[in-house]
C-alpha cells in the first residue's frame, strides 16, 4: 500500500534537552507508516536552514519518498516542546516558517497514485481539501478543534481523527456518530491515557492503552493513527488493527521525539532555548 503525508513539518525543539527532533503531523504519519510496512512519501515545504536540511535527512534515512518536497528560501517551521515529570509533552510556542503551500496540478496527479493521503489542521490546507479528496482517499487529523471547524470539512474525509483527552466513552461515541453522519466511514477518537475509540461504519471499538514506561508522548497519536491505517488498509478487522496500533504507539512513547533523530541546533531562527 502507498500512504502520503501532506502538509505540515516542524522541528520540535526541546529547551530542556537542548535538542531538536524532526516532526509534524504529516511527517510523523508518513514515517510511522513506512516503519509499519507501507510505501510512504511526504509532500510539503522545507526551509533552507539547518532545520529543513535535518528533516530531509531524517526522511531519507526512514525511507520516506521526497519526490515532491519543495525547498523555500527561509526558516523551517518549528514548535517548542516542554515535558512534564510524567513525560507528557506540552507545546510552548511555534512558527510556521515557510511551510504553507497549495498543491498544484502536478501534485494532484502524483497523489492519485496513493491509496491514502493524510493531512490535518496544522497544515493550512482546508481550502484544498476538495481537490485533495478527488485525487486520493483522505485522512484528516482534526486534533482538538471544535465541531464548527470540523463539520464543513468532514464530507471530504474518509478517515477522521479527533483528539479528546479525558473524554468518556459516551462523549467519544457521540462525536464519532456525528462525524459518521457528515461523511467519514472511519472515525478515530484518541483520548490520551484513556485509550481510543475506533468506529468503522458506525460500529465502535474501545481500545485501551498498552501500559508502558513513558519517556515522551510526542507523536503517540500520530503513530497510533499510522499503524491503524496500515493495518486497516491491509485488511485487518478493527479490533486487531486497534490493538496493533496501541502496542505500536506505546513503544513510540519509550523513545525521545516523535520518531527519534535528535540533533543539537545552532540555527539562530530555531536554536533551542537554554
pLDDT digits (tens, 9 = 90+) for 202-220: 999 999 999 999 888 888 9
Q: Which of 139, 140, 136, 158 is nearest to 149 (CA)?
A: 140
Q: Is the dihedral angle over the CA atoms 233, 234, 235, 236 positive or is it negative?
A: negative
Give pTM, 2 decimals.
0.93
Find cell 496544522 and name the residue: 122
- pLDDT for 169-186, tens place per residue? 999 999 999 999 999 999
**Stretch 126-147: mean pLDDT, rounded?**
98
Residue 95 reports pLDDT greater than 50: yes
Residue 42, phi then psi, degrees to nearest 5:
-130, 140
- Cell representation of residue 175: 462525536
State the DSSP code for 158. S
- pLDDT for 48-94, tens place per residue? 999 999 999 999 999 999 999 999 999 999 988 877 776 666 777 78
Q: How far apart are CA 15 and CA 8, in angstroms?
A: 21
Residue 268 reports pLDDT greater than 60: no
Residue 117, phi then psi, degrees to nearest 5:
-120, 145
Residue 245, phi then psi, degrees to nearest 5:
-65, -40
Looking at the chain, the whole-number percentage of residues with pLDDT higher than 90 is 83
Residue 23, phi then psi, degrees to nearest 5:
-170, -155
Residue 191 reports pLDDT greater than 50: yes
Read off the pLDDT band of 269 (50, 70, 90): very low
Burial 148-160 (b: 16+ CB within 10 A, else e): eebeebbebbbbb
Looking at the chain, the whole-number percentage of residues with pLDDT higher than 70 is 95
Q: How far apart are CA 120 and CA 31, in angstroms?
A: 16
Amino acid at each position: 500500500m502507498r500512504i502520503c503525508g501532506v502538509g505540515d513539518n516542524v522541528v520540535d525543539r526541546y529547551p530542556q534537552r537542548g535538542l531538536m527532533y524532526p516532526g509534524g503531523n504529516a511527517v510523523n504519519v508518513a514515517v510511522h507508516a513506512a516503519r509499519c510496512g507501507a510505501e510512504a512519501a511526504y509532500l510539503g515545504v522545507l526551509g533552507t536552514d539547518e532545520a529543513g536540511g535535518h528533516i530531509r535527512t531524517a526522511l531519507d534515512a526512514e525511507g520516506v519518498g521526497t519526490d515532491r518536497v519543495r525547498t523555500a528560501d527561509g526558516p523551517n517551521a518549528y514548535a517548542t516542546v516542554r515535558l512534564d515529570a510524567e513525560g507528557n509533552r506540552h507545546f510552548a510556542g511555534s512558527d510556521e516558517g515557510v511551510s504553507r503551500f497549495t498543491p498544484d496540478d502536478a501534485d494532484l496527479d502524483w497523489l492519485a497514485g496513493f491509496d491514502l493521503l493524510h493531512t490535518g489542521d496544522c497544515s493550512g490546507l482546508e481550502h484544498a481539501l476538495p481537490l485533495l479528496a478527488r485525487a486520493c482517499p483522505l485522512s484528516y487529523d482534526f486534533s482538538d478543534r471544535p465541531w464548527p471547524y470540523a463539520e464543513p470539512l468532514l464530507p471530504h474525509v474518509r478517515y477522521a481523527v479527533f483528539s479528546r483527552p479525558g473524554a468518556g466513552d459516551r462523549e467519544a461515541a457521540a462525536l464519532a456518530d456525528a462525524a459518521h453522519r457528515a461523511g467519514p466511514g472511519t472515525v478515530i477518537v484518541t483520548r490520551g491515557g484513556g485509550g481510543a475509540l475506533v468506529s468503522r461504519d458506525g460500529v465502535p471499538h474501545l481500545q485501551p492503552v498498552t501500559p508502558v514506561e513513558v519517556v515522551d508522548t510526542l507523536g503517540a497519536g500520530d503513530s497510533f493513527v499510522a499503524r491503524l491505517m496500515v493495518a486497516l488498509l491491509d485488511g485487518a478487522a478493527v479490533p486487531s488493527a486497534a490493538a496493533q496500533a496501541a502496542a505500536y504507539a506505546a513503544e513510540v512513547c519509550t523513545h525521545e521525539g516523535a520518531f527519534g533523530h535528535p540533533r543539537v541546533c545552532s540555527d539562530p531562527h530555531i536554536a533551542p532555548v537554554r
